[in-house]
A and B are shown apart, each in its own frame.
Chain A
Amino acid sequence: MWGPRCEGGGPLGKTLEIRLLGELEVVHGGRRVALPASKKTRALLGYLVATGTPHLRERLCNLLWQGPDDPRAALRWSLTKIRSLLDGGGVRRIVADRERVAFEATSVECDWLAARAAVAGGATKATTEALRGAAASFRGELLEGLDLADAYLWHEWCVSEREAARSVRTQVLTAMVERTAADPEAALPYARELVRADPMSEAAHAEVVRLLTELGRKQEAEQQYETCRRILANELGAKPSARLIAARVHAPSDPPRAESGAREAPQALPPLVGRDEVLRELDTHVEGATRGRAEQMLLLTGEPGIGKTRVLQELATKMRAAGGRVLRGRAFEAEMVRPYGPWIDALRSISIAEAAGPLRAELAPMLPELQSAGEGAGDKALLFDAVARLIARLSEATPVAVLLDDIQWFDEASAALLHFVARAVAPSRVLFACGARGEDLAENVAVVRVVRAMQRDGRVHEVALAPLDASATAVLARAIHAAVDSERVMRESLGNPLFALEVTRALARDGAPLSQSLLGLISDRLARLDERAHELVQWAAALGRAFDLDVLTHVTELSPAEIVDALEELERRGILRPCEAPGGAGYDFVHDLIRVGAYRQLSASRRRWVHLRIARALHELAGTDTALAGDVAHHAALGGDSGLAARACLDAAERCLRLFANDEAARVADIATPHLAKLPRETRLPLHLALLQVKAVSGRWLQRTEELYRELTRVVLEAQDAGLDTDVARGFHTMSLLQRDSGDFLGARESTLRAAEAVRTADPLIQARQLSSSARCLGLLEREMDRAEAMLGEAERIMMSAGAPPLGDLAYQWGRAMLALYVGDEAEGLAHLERTLVLARREQDRWVESDCLIRLVEVEIDADRPSAALARCRELAPVAAKMGDGSERPVADALDALARVAACVPGAEGHLARALARLREIDAKGMLSYVLVAAAQIDLRAKRLDAARARAEEGLHAAEVVDRRSQVALARSVLAGVSLAQGDPAGAARHLDAVGEVDRRLALSARARAEVVRARASIEQALSSARERRNEEERPCPE
C-alpha cells in the first residue's frame, strides 16, 4: 500500500467496497479495513469475489493448499477470517455448507466486476462516465502481489484472470484516448497509462508521441520514441512502423536540454536520517556484545523500503568500528529451495577456515569446500552444534555480529538453525540482528514459530521502523536533490524512505512524477536506461538473487566487455551494487523492489524465454553439483521446461534430505508434481517414484499417509504396466517405508519382498541364480524336492537361452549336487560338488567351500569309506578354522571324530563325545542328528545296542525338531534294527510304521529309503521266521 491513501467513503457510504485491481483492498463505510496477514486467505477472498460462483470445498483446497498440511482446516480458518471482514450488519456475503462455498455480492461494489461490466457489450457502447470510472479504478495488476509460489492451480487461474483484466484495461483506456482526442492535455494521462499497461503496443507509444508533440513537449516525445523503438527491437525484433515514424517526424529534435537539478552522483549510501533513537539502540546492543552480554536478538520490522537493510548496514559499520566482525546473509524470495542459503552466505562472508578447523567434518554437508573427501556422515544435531560452536569460536577474540536480512523468506531449516544457535551461544559476544517485512513474516510459519518462542524467552528486541516524519524526509530528499519540493516528496511518499528517494529522483528528472506508486516510479526510472543496461537489468531481475558475472555471461548474449560497461552504468545509477556472491565478486539490486520493478517490465512471453535460458545455463554450469538444483528448478518451472524442472526438483529435494532439511525436501517434491503431468511416461514414472520416495523419507507426510500411499500404488501399477522393474522395486521399497512408519510391519515385510521380487524379474541371470539358490535351499532341507528339481530345470533353461553356461554358475552346480546326492546318484553328486568347490575357491566364498567339503565328508561316511572321509576332514579343518564364530569348526570337529570312530581309531569315542557336546551347545540339531544316527549305525553293527538306541533316540528327536524327514527315517531304521537285534520285531515294525510313506518319488533321500526298505525286509524276514517257528511248535508231533 504505497500509493496515495483513499479518503472519504464510497458513494453509498455503508456499502462494502472490494477492490481487486491493484493490491486487494476492502473498504467499509469509507475506511479501509485491515486485511488478514495470510496471503492465501487474501487470495481466497479475491478468488471468491472475482469468480462470483459457488465452489466445492475440495476445489478450493486444491487451489491454494497443496502439500502435507491439513487443507480443509486451513480453508475453514481462512473462511472465518474472511467472514469477519465481509459479513456484518445483518448481511451474509460468505455462504457455505459442508460442500460448497460462495460469495454473494449483496450491497457490494467491486471495481473489477464493474470494469468488466462496463465493456461487456463492447467499449464503444459504454458511457464515458463508466469508462472514466473504470479507468480510474485500475490501480495496478489484478490482485497485485498475491503470487503464491507453491499453489500451482492458483497461479494458473491468476495468470488468466490478469490477462483478462489487462485486456479490459486496454479496451477502456483506448476508448478513453479516443473520446478525449480533442483535448491532448486530458488524453495524455490515458495514453501514458495505456503504454504502461501494454508496453508492446506500438500504437499506444505512437499516441503518446503524438500527444506530446502536440503539447510542444518535444524532448519527452523523443524519449518516448526511443523507448518504443528499443522495445520493438528487443521484444519483437521489429522496426518502427510508419505510424510511429510519422508521429516522430513532427517532433523536430531540439538539442538535449541540460539536465536540471543535481546530476546524480555515483551512489553512495543515502544518509541515515530520522533514526536517532534506533541508532542509540544499536549502540547499546553493540556495547553489550563487546562486553560479552549480548542476550537479545534485534528484530527490525517494517514495510518494504522503510530502511531495515540500511539500519543493518549501519549496525555492521558500528560493529566493525568496535573491532568486531560481521557475518551477513540474506534470504531471497526465489531461493526458498536452497536450504540454509542465508547461513551459507553468512559463513562464507568472512574467512572461517581457521576457526572451522576441528569442525570440518560436521560442517561439510553445509560447506563442502571445507572437506575434500566425500560427505561427512552426520545428522542435523551435529551440524547445528558445529555451527554454534564455530560462531562461538569466532567470538572468542572479538565480538561478532550475525546479520540476517529478509528473514520472512527464510526456509524452515534456516529458521531452526537460527533458533538453535541464538540459544546456544547466549549470553555472549555474539549479536544477532534480523530484518523482516512485517506483513510477509506472518506468512512464514517456521520463522513465526521461532520468533514467538524467542519472544517468550525474552530474547527478542523488536524495533518496528516507522515512516519518517516530514523534516527527516526533507533531509533525505535534499541529499539527492538540493532544490526538491520536499513537501511534495512527503505527500507522495508518506515518509517511506525508498519511495521518497524515487519520488525525488523523478521530480529532479521531469518535474512531475509520472506514476503514483513506488513500483511505477521505479519502472519509469528503469525505462530511461540505455539499451544494454536495460537488457542486462532484466536478466539480473529474472535471476532473482545476487548473481555473479559468470552466470550473467552465460545467460546473456552480451560480450563480457559490454556486460562490464552496463554494470558500471547500473551501479552509477543506483540500481545495482557490488556484493559477495557465491561464485566470488557479484552484484545485487540496491533494493529488492527495484528488482521487482525491473522484472515486471518483462512481458509474459519474454519472462518465459528468459527463465528458460537461465535454467539451461545454470544446468550447464552446475554439472554434477546439485547446489544450484533449486535455482534450476525454479527457473525451469517459470520457463516452461517441465522435464528440466521436474528433474531439478528431484535433485534439489534429495539435496535437502542430505542437509537434513526435510521440510524443504517435501515442499520441493510437491512443486514438481504439476510438471510431471506434462512428461512422457518413460520419463515421468521414474521421476514420480523417486519424488514419492523423497516425500516418504522426509517424514513430513505422516498426517496424509493414506493419500501418499494411494498415489504410490497408482504409480507403481503404471510402472509395472510399462515394464519398469527397477522403478517398481523402488516403489515397493517406498511403500514398505510408509507402512513401517505407520506401524504396519506385516505390510512392510510384504512390500519388501515384492521389491526384491521386482528386482529379480529385471534380469534373467539373476532370476536363474535365484531359482538355483532356492532349489539348493530346498535340497538342504530335503523338502519339496520335486519343486527343487523343476527350479533347477528352469534355471538351466534360462541360462542356456541367455548364453551363460551353467557349468560356470556356482548356485546351479551346488543345487545340482544336492539333488543328485538326494536321488542317490553318487557319481554325479560328487562331480557337481567338486565343480562347486572349484568355483567357490575361485570366488573366495569360504562358506560355500566349507559347506562343499562337509558334504564330501558325509558322502564318504555314508559310503562307508572312513579313510577317504578322514582325508576330506583334513581339507576341511583349516577352512573351518577361518570361519570365525559360526558353526563350521564344531561341525568339522564332529565329522572328524565320527570318521575316526568309523575307522576305529583309538580314543575316537572320547573325541566324539566332546564333539557332540559342542554341537549341542551351539544348537545345530540337523548336524547333531546326522552324527548321532551315523554313530548309532556304527554302534548297531558293533552290537553295542544300548549305545545305539540312546544315540538313535536323541538323533530322532533332533531330526524331528528341525523336520528332516530323511534323517527321521534313518533314525527310525536304526531303532528298528536295535529292536530287531533285541528280539522284538513287533517293536521294530512299530518304529517303521511311524516313518510313513516311502514309495512316492522323492519323498525320502535314496539312502534313507534304502535303509527303510532294508529294515522292513529284515523285519519281514524276522517276522516270517517267527511265524514259521510258531507253526512248527504248533504242529502236532508225528505218532
Chain B
Amino acid sequence: MPRMIVEYVFDPPATEEQFDAAAAKLDPCLEGRDVQWVRSFVSLDRRRRICVFDAPDAESVRESYRSAGVRFERVWSAEEITEDD
C-alpha cells in the first residue's frame, strides 16, 4: 500500500489531550476508508507533527480528516526511501 503523509502545524503548541481527542474522532473514519496509521513524528516544541499512513490514496486520508473535523496543512502521497534501496 502506498504511503501518505499528513502535515500539521499547531499554534499554540498541541497537548496530549488534543492529540487523543483528534485520534478518537479520526479512527472510525480512517478505518472505514482502509487507512492504517503507521507512525507519527511530533516536534519537541509540539508545534509541528507528521503522520504516516498506509492508504489507497491521499484523498481517502483527506476525507477522513475532514469528516472528523481535524485540521491539517496538507496530505500527499509518498514514496519511501530506506537503507535497502
- CB <8 Å contact, B13 and A752: no
A608 to B31, CA, bound (A): 58
How does the 8 Å CB contact mask read for B6-48 relative to A, with 1 for contact and 0 for none?
0000001100110011011101110011100000000000000
Judged by a CB distance under 8 angstroms, whether A924 is at the interface is: yes
- CB <8 Å contact, B59 and A925: yes
Residues of the B chain whose Cβ atoms lie less than 8 Å from the Cβ of A851: 66
Residues of the B chain whose Cβ atoms lie less than 8 Å from the Cβ of A753: 24, 27-28
Q: Which residues of A892-948 are within 8 A (CB) of B?
A: 922-927
Residues of the A chain whose Cβ atoms lie less than 8 Å from the Cβ of B73: 884-885
- The smallest C-beta distance from A727 to any residue of chain B, in angstroms, reads 15
Residues of the A chain whose Cβ atoms lie less than 8 Å from the Cβ of B28: 753, 774, 777
A755 to B19, CA, bound (A): 13
**Contact of A755 with B24 at beta-carbon distance under 8 Å, contacts A377-B13, A777-B32 already known:** yes
Q: Which of A386-394, A778-786, A858-866, A1030-1038 contacts B (4 or more CB under 8 A)?
A: A778-786
**One of B23, B25, B57 near A961 (C-beta < 8 A):** B57
Identify the closest chain B residue to A962 (Cβ).
B56
- CB <8 Å contact, A924 and B59: yes
**Contact of A887 with B59 at beta-carbon distance under 8 Å, contacts A781-B33, A923-B77 already known:** yes
Residues of the B chain whose Cβ atoms lie less than 8 Å from the Cβ of A781: 32-33
Identify the closest chain B residue to A756 (Cβ).
B24
Residues of the B chain whose Cβ atoms lie less than 8 Å from the Cβ of A922: 58-59, 76
Q: Which residues of A765-822 are within 8 A (CB) of B?
A: 773-774, 776-778, 780-781, 783
A884 to B59, CA, bound (A): 15
Residues of the B chain whose Cβ atoms lie less than 8 Å from the Cβ of A885: 73-74
- The smallest C-beta distance from A1021 to any residue of chain B, in angstroms, reads 37
Residues of the B chain whose Cβ atoms lie less than 8 Å from the Cβ of A723: none
- CB <8 Å contact, A777 and B29: yes
- CB <8 Å contact, B25 and A756: yes
Residues of the A chain whose Cβ atoms lie less than 8 Å from the Cβ of B25: 756
Judged by a CB distance under 8 angstroms, whether A323 is at the interface is: no
- CB <8 Å contact, A733 and B17: yes
Q: Which residues of B59-85 are within 8 A (CB) of A?
A: 59-60, 62-63, 66-67, 73-77
**One of A736, A886, A963 near B56 (C-beta < 8 A):** A963
Residues of the B chain whose Cβ atoms lie less than 8 Å from the Cβ of A247: none
Interface centre among B57, B66, B73 (most CB of A within 10 A): B57
How does the 8 Å CB contact mask read for A722-760 relative to B, with 1 for contact and 0 for none?
000000000001001100000000000100110110000
A231 to B59, CA, bound (A): 83
Residues of the B chain whose Cβ atoms lie less than 8 Å from the Cβ of A780: 63, 67
- CB <8 Å contact, B58 and A924: yes
- The smallest C-beta distance from B1 to any residue of chain A, in angstroms, reads 10
- The smallest C-beta distance from A566 to any residue of chain B, in angstroms, reads 50
- The smallest C-beta distance from B51 to any residue of chain A, in angstroms, reads 13
- CB <8 Å contact, B57 and A926: yes
**Contact of A776 with B56 at beta-carbon distance under 8 Å, contacts A756-B21, A781-B33, A885-B73 already known:** no
**Contact of A927 with B59 at beta-carbon distance under 8 Å, contacts A737-B16, A773-B67, A885-B74 already known:** yes
**One of A756, A847, A884, A958 near B66 (C-beta < 8 A):** A847
- CB <8 Å contact, A377 and B56: no
- CB <8 Å contact, B59 and A783: no
Tell me the dominant secondary structure on chain A's binding face: helix
**Contact of A377 with B76 at beta-carbon distance under 8 Å, contacts A923-B57, A962-B60 already known:** no
**One of A783, A886, A963 near B74 (C-beta < 8 A):** A886
- The smallest C-beta distance from A949 to any residue of chain B, in angstroms, reads 23
A539 to B57, CA, bound (A): 72
A962 to B59, CA, bound (A): 9
A846 to B65, CA, bound (A): 14
- CB <8 Å contact, B62 and A886: yes
Identify the closest chain A residue to B29 (Cβ).
A777
A98 to B20, CA, bound (A): 44
A923 to B57, CA, bound (A): 6
**Contact of A925 with B57 at beta-carbon distance under 8 Å, contacts A377-B13, A777-B29, A777-B67 already known:** yes
**Contact of A377 with B74 at beta-carbon distance under 8 Å, contacts A923-B58, A926-B57 already known:** no
Residues of the A chain whose Cβ atoms lie less than 8 Å from the Cβ of B29: 777
- CB <8 Å contact, B57 and A733: no
- How many chain A residues sit at the interface, stated as a range, is 20 to 34
A752 to B74, CA, bound (A): 25
A927 to B2, CA, bound (A): 18
- CB <8 Å contact, A962 and B57: yes
**One of A733, A923, A926, A927 near B76 (C-beta < 8 A):** A923
A781 to B28, CA, bound (A): 13
- The smallest C-beta distance from B72 to any residue of chain A, in angstroms, reads 8
- CB <8 Å contact, B21 and A783: no
A925 to B63, CA, bound (A): 12
Residues of the B chain whose Cβ atoms lie less than 8 Å from the Cβ of A783: 32
Residues of the B chain whose Cβ atoms lie less than 8 Å from the Cβ of A733: 17, 20
A184 to B76, CA, bound (A): 100
- The smallest C-beta distance from A813 to any residue of chain B, in angstroms, reads 15
- The smallest C-beta distance from B4 to any residue of chain A, in angstroms, reads 8
- CB <8 Å contact, A963 and B34: yes
A56 to B8, CA, bound (A): 55
**One of B13, B32, B60, B63 near A778 (C-beta < 8 A):** B32
A753 to B37, CA, bound (A): 15
- CB <8 Å contact, B67 and A776: yes
- The smallest C-beta distance from B58 to any residue of chain A, in angstroms, reads 4
**One of A736, A774, A927 near B20 (C-beta < 8 A):** A736
Identify the closest chain A residue to B64 (Cβ).
A777
A1009 to B32, CA, bound (A): 23
A752 to B26, CA, bound (A): 11
A777 to B28, CA, bound (A): 9
Identify the closest chain A residue to B7 (Cβ).
A885
Identify the closest chain A residue to B61 (Cβ).
A923
Identify the closest chain A residue to B33 (Cβ).
A781
Residues of the A chain whose Cβ atoms lie less than 8 Å from the Cβ of B66: 847, 851, 886
- CB <8 Å contact, A755 and B20: yes
- The smallest C-beta distance from A817 to any residue of chain B, in angstroms, reads 15
- CB <8 Å contact, B20 and A752: yes
- The smallest C-beta distance from B36 to any residue of chain A, in angstroms, reads 11
A364 to B81, CA, bound (A): 46
Identify the closest chain A residue to B28 (Cβ).
A774
Identify the closest chain B residue to A964 (Cβ).
B56
- CB <8 Å contact, A925 and B23: no
Residues of the A chain whose Cβ atoms lie less than 8 Å from the Cβ of B21: 756
Identify the closest chain A residue to B12 (Cβ).
A377
A783 to B28, CA, bound (A): 14
A753 to B29, CA, bound (A): 12
Residues of the A chain whose Cβ atoms lie less than 8 Å from the Cβ of B34: 963
Identify the closest chain B residue to A961 (Cβ).
B56
- CB <8 Å contact, A749 and B23: yes
A753 to B27, CA, bound (A): 8
- CB <8 Å contact, A926 and B59: yes
A776 to B67, CA, bound (A): 9
Residues of the B chain whose Cβ atoms lie less than 8 Å from the Cβ of A887: 58-59, 62
- The smallest C-beta distance from A6 to any residue of chain B, in angstroms, reads 60
- The smallest C-beta distance from A660 to any residue of chain B, in angstroms, reads 15
- The smallest C-beta distance from A499 to any residue of chain B, in angstroms, reads 55
Interface centre among A749, A922, A923, A961 (most CB of B within 10 A): A923
How does the 8 Å CB contact mask read for A243-272 relative to B, with 1 for contact and 0 for none?
000000000000000000000000000000
Residues of the B chain whose Cβ atoms lie less than 8 Å from the Cβ of A755: 20, 24
Residues of the B chain whose Cβ atoms lie less than 8 Å from the Cβ of A777: 28-29, 32, 67
Interface centre among A753, A776, A958 (most CB of B within 10 A): A753
- The smallest C-beta distance from A663 to any residue of chain B, in angstroms, reads 20
Identify the closest chain A residue to B39 (Cβ).
A745
Q: List 10 tightest A-B contacts by C-beta distance, closest first.
A: A756-B24, A924-B59, A923-B58, A925-B57, A923-B77, A885-B74, A962-B56, A923-B57, A961-B56, A752-B24
Q: List 10 A-B contacts (CB under 8 A).
A: A753-B27, A756-B21, A777-B29, A781-B33, A885-B73, A887-B59, A922-B76, A924-B58, A925-B60, A962-B33
Besides A924-B59, A924-B62, A925-B60, 12 new A-B residue pairs in contact (Cβ under 8 A), listed by A number = A377-B12, A752-B20, A752-B24, A777-B29, A887-B59, A923-B57, A923-B76, A924-B58, A925-B59, A961-B57, A962-B56, A963-B56
